[in-house]
């Protein structure tokens, strides 16, 4: 499980940072990837990586400001030309379907795959055998959401030594025992899976927030995340400006992470005023409150693990 930052800038692209897009690599977990926001030129950024657009399964849009959605029609179109035939589901606020379908219709773009939309409201928005995703409304002037991705716990390793001590030799029966709660052997012996498995493997929790003012109600939403991706558009001395423009500062993001018992904080959505070495200032400010912090640059990758 890995995060790749395809765009980390705020508002408009700069020479150093493209606008917002983050990819969550779930190839090992489910053979697919998820995309969070799709700012202008996201598909150009992908060309500098090993990411395959056809592997994108779900797209989560935080809000409808252009720096988060203008790359979406182009990405969806190019996916068709790059062997993309499997369905894509787009999650986002009201209006995202109208924006995408209108763009595709006017440009007479015909996709080779089914495209689905799910309008986001607060609460659980997705659950399958592997993950649960929750949405939380943020404070950003227009409807904007953060997403909490909870990976479900996986059964622990099969205790082969214990099975062998019970007289059960290695073979296909081992897989059968791991996949079923109860297994009855040919000799009538009953094996309960819970008796021969190690402790469950705890799933990861990743929270990716869209643009937002500082809001202490977010602490509960991001609590105990293994990774929190939080915007830090402004430095700490621009608190008033951040509030006026519905954004957050480095210190505010760090305070949320600290109070929520987050393991790792990754800062993104950086204003172009903090170019070059100035971005180091942002990390230093945040680190005074929360030490496990990094300012993400374009193409920065972070391996998510316990």
Residue from 121, 64, 124 nearest 97 by CA:
64
Task: Please state the φ and ψ torsions of residue 242, each to the nearest 5 degrees.
Answer: -60, -45
Q: What is the pLDDT of residues 158-217, one digit of tens each?
A: 899 989 988 898 989 998 998 888 999 989 999 998 898 888 889 999 999 999 999 999
CATH architecture of 2-154+204-303: 4-Layer Sandwich (3.60)
Rounded to an integer, what distance in angstroms lies between the CA atom of residue 279 and that of residue 297? 9
Which residue spans within 27-173 are E strands per DSSP? 32-36, 56-60, 88-92, 115-119, 123-127, 131-137, 145-151
The token pair that represents 99 in the structure block: 């924006």
Q: What is the pLDDT of residues 45-55, one digit of tens each?
A: 999 999 999 99
Query: What's the pLDDT at 306?
Result: 79
Instruction: Indicate the domain borders of the chain.
Output: 2-154+204-303, 160-195
153 is catalytic: no
The token pair that represents 9 in the structure block: 């800038």
Catalytic residue among 37, 67, 211, 226: 67
Query: What's the pLDDT at 234?
Result: 97
What string of pLDDT tens digits covers the 306 residues of the chain? 999 999 999 999 999 999 999 999 999 999 999 999 999 999 999 999 999 999 999 999 999 999 999 999 999 999 999 999 999 999 999 999 999 999 999 999 999 999 999 999 999 999 999 999 999 999 999 999 999 999 999 888 889 998 998 889 898 999 899 888 899 998 999 999 889 888 888 999 999 999 999 999 999 999 999 999 999 999 999 999 999 999 999 999 999 999 999 999 999 999 999 988 888 999 999 999 999 999 999 999 999 987
């Amino acid at each position: 499980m890995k995060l790749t930052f395809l765009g980390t800038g705020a508002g408009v692209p700069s020479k150093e940072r493209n606008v917002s897009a983050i990819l969550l690599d779930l190839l090992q977990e489910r053979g697919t990837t998820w995309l969070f926001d799709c700012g202008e030129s996201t598909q150009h950024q992908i060309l500098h990586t090993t990411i395959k657009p056809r592997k994108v399964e779900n797209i989560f849009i935080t809000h409808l400001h252009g720096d988060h959605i203008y790359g979406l029609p182009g990405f969806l179109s190019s996916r068709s030309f790059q062997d993309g035939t499997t369905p894509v589901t787009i999650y986002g606020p009201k209006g995202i379907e109208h924006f995408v379908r209108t763009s595709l219709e006017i440009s007479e773009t015909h996709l080779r795959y089914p495209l689905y939309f799910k309008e986001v409201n607060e609460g659980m928005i997705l659950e399958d055998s592997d993950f649960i995703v929750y949405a939380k409304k943020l404070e950003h002037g227009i409807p904007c959401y953060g997403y909490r991705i909870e990976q479900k716990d996986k059964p622990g390793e099969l205790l082969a030594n214990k099975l062998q001590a019970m007289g059960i030799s290695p073979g296909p029966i081992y897989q059968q025992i791991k996949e079923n709660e109860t297994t009855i052997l040919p000799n009538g012996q009953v094996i309960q899976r819970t008796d021969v498995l190690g402790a469950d493997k705890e799933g990861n929790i990743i929270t990716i927030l869209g643009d937002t003012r500082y809001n202490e109600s977010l602490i509960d939403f991001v609590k105990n995340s293994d990774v929190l991706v939080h915007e830090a558009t402004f430095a700490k001395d621009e608190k008033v400006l951040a509030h006026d423009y519905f954004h957050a500062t480095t210190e505010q993001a760090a305070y949320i992470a600290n109070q929520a018992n987050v393991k790792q904080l990754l800062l993104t959505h950086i204003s172009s005023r903090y170019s070059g070495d100035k971005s180091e200032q942002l990390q230093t400010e945040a680190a005074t409150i929360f030490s496990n912090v990094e300012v993400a640059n374009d193409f920065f990758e972070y391996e998510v693990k316990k």
